[in-house]
Structure 1
Amino acid sequence: MSALQKLKERIKEKGLRHTFSTLWKRFVYFHWELLWMERDLVSPIPPHTLRPYTPLRLETITAQNAGAFAKHFGDRVGTMAELADEGHTGHMYLDDEGNTVAFIWGSNGDYYDRHYYGCRFPVNEGEFFEFGGEQIRAYWGSTLSVDFQLDLWKAMQAKGCNKVVDVCETHNIPALKLHIRMGYKEQGRVMHVYGLFGRWRFFRETRYSGSRLDALRKPSQPTVAAPAA
């Protein structure tokens, strides 16, 4: 299929306005806002109504076992191996056939994200930076999104960490709601990422007061204890 045919198909599927917006952000200009979030590793997890899932096998990601990503995350195999070689802590969850269906990473030092955002995220002593959490569609809405964070928190506690920090894109509403569900708090900082002509990236940080997530919050409910560390 030619590039023109692909463009016509995309316009037919997504609409002209959506297609133009996507192309503009990819080839001309985009601006992402990343909210800094934080959480201690021992406070109770708020209650939730996520569905259970069939048990999975947890393994630490290494350069040697990164091939398990091939089926569902084929474009990530090399990246996963690189992150493991750089010394970051990665967990992957395998199904009965040995295929990775979910993964998450943590870095207990400053993290330079050269694979996606292209900027450095500083980490203070006692903190770790959580990134890359993802699961295949079959597990969306399941407690796996909670469990893979708790498992990583325990692993990073064993390395001497007492706080998790990360960033979340303001346009990623499901991810923001997940942070609220897990009891994260806003730091009042925003990392701005600008892209120009698909080639250059620029960055700056700003601060804000109050909350930018209140509109997404549900009425408060009693909390339940987190699993013992």
Structure 2
Amino acid sequence: MSVLQKLSQHIRQKGWRATLNKIWKHYVFSHEELLWMERDLVTPVPPYKLRPYPPLQVVRITPENAVAFTRYFGDRVETMAELAREGYTGHMHLDDKGDAVAFIWGAARNYHDKHYYGCWFPVKEGEFFEFGGELTRAYWGTALSMDVQTQLWKAMLDQGCHTVVDVCESHNVPALKLHIRTGYKEQGRIMNVYELFGRWRFYRETHYSGSRLDALRKPAREPATAAVS
């Protein structure tokens, strides 16, 4: 499909306003807000209602076994091997065919995200930075979204960490809701990522008070009261 055909299709599906906004962000200027979140590693995850999934094997990612990403994450094989060579802790979840269907990473030191945002994420002593978590579509909405995290937490707890920190895009509502369900708390910090003309990137940390997530929380049910005649 040519560029003009893709543009025409996007206009039909999204309209002119959304199309021009996308072009502006891609070719002129974009601003991404990454909200810092944190959680201790020992408090149990709150109860949740997620679908069960077939048994999977949890394996630590190494440069040698990164080939398991070929089927579902073929464009990530070398990246996975590179992260393993750099000493980060990565887990992949393998199906009965030996293919990776989910993965997640943890860094117990300052992490330079050269593969995506391009900035440094500082990590304090006792913390680890969680990044790169992803599941194949077949496992969306299953308990694997929780298990992939909690099993990494156990591994990092064994390494002497007591807190997990990560960042979440402010517009990614499903991911923000997952953080709420998992018991994360906001740090009140934002990593701002600016991109100019699709080429230059700039970074700035800002702070906020209150909560950016309250609007996404489910309202508590009020107790039923008897009618008064």
TM-score greater than 0.5 by the shorter chain: yes
For the residue of structure 1 that corresponds to 2:31, the secondary structure is: strand
Residue 209 of structure 2 aligns with which residue?
A: 209
Residue 167 of structure 1 aligns with which residue?
A: 167
Query: What do residues 31-55 of structure 1 show as CA deviations (whole Å, max 9, x unaligned)?
Result: 0111100000011211111111111
For the residue of structure 1 that corresponds to 2:30, the secondary structure is: strand
For the residue of structure 2 that corresponds to 1:42, the secondary structure is: coil
Unaligned 5+ residue runs, structure 2?
A: 222-229
Counterpart CA distance in 1 for 2:150 and 2:122 is 22
Residue 19 of structure 2 aligns with which residue?
A: 19
Counterpart CA distance in 1 for 2:76 and 2:23 is 23
The amino acid across from 2:206 in the alignment is T
Counterpart CA distance in 2 for 1:106 and 1:166 is 10
Larger RCO (CA under 8 A, 6+ residues apart) = 1
Mapping of residues 180-199 of structure 1, within 5 Å: 180-199=180-199
Residue 125 of structure 1 aligns with which residue?
A: 125
Query: What do residues 84-123 of structure 1 show as CA deviations (whole Å, max 9, x unaligned)?
Result: 1111000011111111111100000000000001100000
Indicate how the Cα distance of structure 1 residues 57 and 101 shifts in structure 2: closer, same or farther if over 3 A, else same.
same
Q: Is residue 2:69 matched to residue 1:65?
A: no
Residue 5 of structure 2 aligns with which residue?
A: 5
Counterpart CA distance in 1 for 2:108 and 2:59 is 19
Query: What do residues 34-79 of structure 1 show as CA deviations (whole Å, max 9, x unaligned)?
Result: 1100000011211111111111111111111111111111111111
Residue 113 of structure 1 aligns with which residue?
A: 113
Counterpart CA distance in 1 for 2:53 and 2:108 is 30
For the residue of structure 2 that corresponds to 1:215, the secondary structure is: helix
Mapping of residues 73-152 of structure 1, within 5 Å: 73-152=73-152
For the residue of structure 2 that corresponds to 1:79, the secondary structure is: helix
TM-score by length of 2: 0.93
Query: What do residues 145-172 of structure 1 show as CA deviations (whole Å, max 9, x unaligned)?
Result: 1001000000001111000000001000
Counterpart CA distance in 2 for 1:25 and 1:34 is 16
Unaligned 5+ residue runs, structure 1?
A: 222-229
Instruction: Compute the RMSD of aligned alpha carbons.
Output: 1.4
The amino acid across from 1:107 in the alignment is A
TM-score by length of 1: 0.93
Larger radius of gyration: 2
The amino acid across from 1:31 in the alignment is H
Q: CA deviation at 1:207?
A: 0.8
Q: CA deviation at 1:220?
A: 5.7
Kindly, what percent of the aligned residue pairs are identical? 68
Q: CA deviation at 1:219?
A: 4.1
Counterpart CA distance in 2 for 1:101 and 1:161 is 26
